[in-house]
Structure formats: structure tokens, C-alpha cells
Amino acid sequence: MKSIQLIGLIFLFPTLFFGQTKAIITIQNNSAIARQEAVTAIKWENITTAFPEIDTANFVIINPNTKKQVPYQLEHLGKSSIQNVLIQIDVKPKSSLNLMLQKGKPNLFETKTYARYVPERKDDFAWENDKIAFRAYGKAIEKSNEDAYGFDVWVKRTKKMILNERYKTGNYHVDSGNGMDYYHVGYSLGAGNMAPYINDTIRYSANYHQYKVLDNGPLRSTFQLIYDTWDAGKIKIKVTKTISIDAGSQLNRIENVYTFDDNKPIPVVIGIIKRAEAGVISLNEQQGILAYWEPTFAQDGTTGVGSIFSNPTATMWIDKTQILAKTTVTNNSPIVYYTGACWDKAQEITNSKQWFDYLNNFQEQLKNPLTITIRQNKQ
């Protein structure tokens, strides 16, 4: 009935939807999983082909179902020219969504992702979205009693950006209403960092020494962390880690490029630190999902951590301090995986089953990406 009413509206008021429209974007969801708050990339070259006279400062994308603007971001990936237009949408299972691209003044869209270098806190690099936050440790903290090798998690229960506020107050180990940092990393890979695994030993690098921000919101923030060459069991290795966080997601996309003087692949592991108290662990080698629901820490709540692999995993196991999954990398060739966390006090994912289901659904979405077509409007 709703679709009939919509057709009637378009027939009666064609200029409402098509009068100034220059292109129609169709997003198809062929999977049985609803896409909610999904950030999707449309190649800029495809947009300019369908809408050659587009003005980058004067266009809007309209959802005719809501008659509202769709939030978008011009993604550069560190280049001077636009590479993609990122949009955030909802698409029902086995259905499609049509959007109208036309001239107009875009709204000021809410910032939902943010990343920055934090020199005032010993070279931290921190990043967040509207769900969760993370940080990596830099050069200034090396060889101190605060040094840590893995990714840190800052839990939050607000959609607002909180990094600057927490660093300004400096009291982020106490929950003042929007979350806190109670995650412990130490001498581990933390919440899903990766390291070479040579002769059955994790070969930790030093912390990152250089960084580069490629894009910074409002829907996706992407940056690189660059690590100096280190000795990984008599193999000289260096790595660049390109990390992206999307609005609405609990997980980061991580693309690592290892460079070393060997034509043979080398083993690497992705790890999650394990607590002494009992938690819930899932090792799904077949699907490539490493999942952990931590023990509850008194009034602080419970954190879920998980990693999803694009490459086949050779094996997963639990040692005394970490939950690990092993795969291999080749010289100067990117390896992509996803890792992230959730917090039960955010009241969205509140138990291990929900967390494991979230990771399974995320993996299914990776296997069944949305398809996008864009065409000129003939009307």
C-alpha cells in the first residue's frame, strides 16, 4: 500500500522529486540482512559520468521516501581529487533504494567519525565514531611504564564525539556519563592488533612513529600509522597500517602492508588480550571470526571484542594471555581485516550472543556487498 501511495505522489507532483534531478542512484541489497546506517561508497567517476555538470559545493542527495537529504562525504583517500562519495543509508533485505542526485545546497551533516594525533598525551593517535572509540600508542610513551603494544578501546554511550573532551579533562578512567577507558592493553595486541609470528613467537614492533590523516569525517575517518623497521626474529620488517572507521559501525577496517626482504610469505597473528576471570570465547575458524565477551568488571560493565578476517586463517587458539588467530602475509601486499569492540552499557549489544550475532552478520554483509548503479535522469 505504501508503494502505491508513493507512485501516486510522484505522478501528481513530478517536480517534487524529478524537477531538478540530474541522476538516479539505485542501491540494491541482495542479502537477507537489513543494512542499517550503512556507509556505502559511490565512485566519483561514475557520478561525473551520469552528472557531468555537477558542482562539488552545490549538490544534494535526496531520499524520496523521506523527502530528506541523505548525509554524504566526499572521500579523497589522501589525494587532491575526489575518489568517492560516501552515503549513509538503510536498505531492507532483498530490496532496493532509489536516491535522487540534484543541484542544491547541502545541509551541514552531523560529525559521526573523528580521528587525530594527540601530542599532548605522549603521541597517542585516537579515533572514534558514534558507537565506540580507540587509540594507538606513539613514540613518546615507549620504554615507560605506560607503554603498550596493542589497540586500546575507549567505551562510550553517546553518539557525540568525546575524544577532545576526555583528553582535555584528563579524567577518562572514570565514567562521567558518556563512557570511559577501563580497557587494559599492556604487553599484548590489545583489541585486535596484528604482528609477525616468527618461530612461534609474537614479534612486537615499537609503537608508531609517523601518521597521516587521509579523510576525517563526517561519515568515515581514515588514517595511516607508520612503523619503523624492526627485527622480527632475524627478519627486518616495517609496516604501514591504514585504518578506517565508519559511522554506525562497531568495527574498524584495517589494511596492513608489510615490507620485508623475503619472497616467501611470513606468518602473522591477530590477537585479543584475555582477562584472568572467565569470559565467553568463540573461535570460528571456518568463518574467520575471533570473538570475546569479556568478564564483567564491577560497575564498569562488560566489553565485547572481535576480529573478522578476509584471508583464510590457519588456526585459532587461546594461550595464557591472549586469544590468537594466525594467517600469512606476503611482501608489500596488503592484508585486510576488521576489528573492534562494543560495551554493554551503551544498551545496544548487551550480551555475548548479541555480540557474536553482530560479528556473524557483519561477515555476511562483507560477503554480500550492496550493489550500486547510477544513471542519468531522462525526465
Q: Within the chain, which residue ranges are assigned CATH 2.70.98?
A: 113-348
Supply the pLDDT for residue 378.
67
Q: Is the pLDDT of residue 4 over 60?
A: no
Dist CA 113 CA 218 (whole Å):
6
pLDDT band at residue 170 using 50, 70 and 90 as cut-offs: confident
- Those residues whose C-beta lies under 8 Å from the C-beta of residue 280, and which sit 6 or more positions away, are 292, 293, 352
Q: Please count the other Cβ atoms lying within 10 Å of the Cβ belonging to residue 320.
A: 6
Its pTM stands at 0.93
Question: Cell numbers at residue 232, please?
Answer: 622480527
Check whether 5 has a pLDDT greater than 60: no
- For 181-227, how does the pLDDT look when each residue is reduced to its tens digit (9 = 90+)? 999 999 999 999 999 999 999 999 999 999 999 999 999 999 999 99
* Class level of CATH domain 2-107+369-376: mainly beta
DSSP per residue over 187-241, as a string? SS-BEEEEEEEETTEE-----B-EEEEEEE-SSEEEEEEEEEEEESSS-EEEEEE
Calculate what percentage of the chain has a pLDDT beyond 90: 88
Residue-wise pLDDT for 249-289, tens only, equals 999 999 999 999 988 999 999 999 999 999 999 999 999 99
List, for residues 290-304, the tens digit of each pLDDT value.
999 999 998 999 999
Report whether 78 contacts 214 (CB < 8 A): yes
What are 37-63's pLDDT values in tens digits? 999 999 999 999 999 999 999 999 999
Strand partners, 138: 208
Q: Is-contact 64 56, C-beta < 8 A?
A: no
178: Cβ contacts below 8 Å, ≥ 6 apart: 156, 157, 158, 160, 162, 165
Residue range(s) in the chain whose domain bears CATH number 2.60.40.1180: 2-107+369-376
Contact indicator for 157, 343 with CB cutoff of 8 Å: yes
Q: Which CATH number is 113-348's, of 3.40.50, 2.70.98, 1.25.40, 1.10.1060? A: 2.70.98
Structure-model confidence comparison of residues 11 and 205, the more confident one: 205
Handedness of CA 254, 255, 258, 263 (dihedral sign): positive
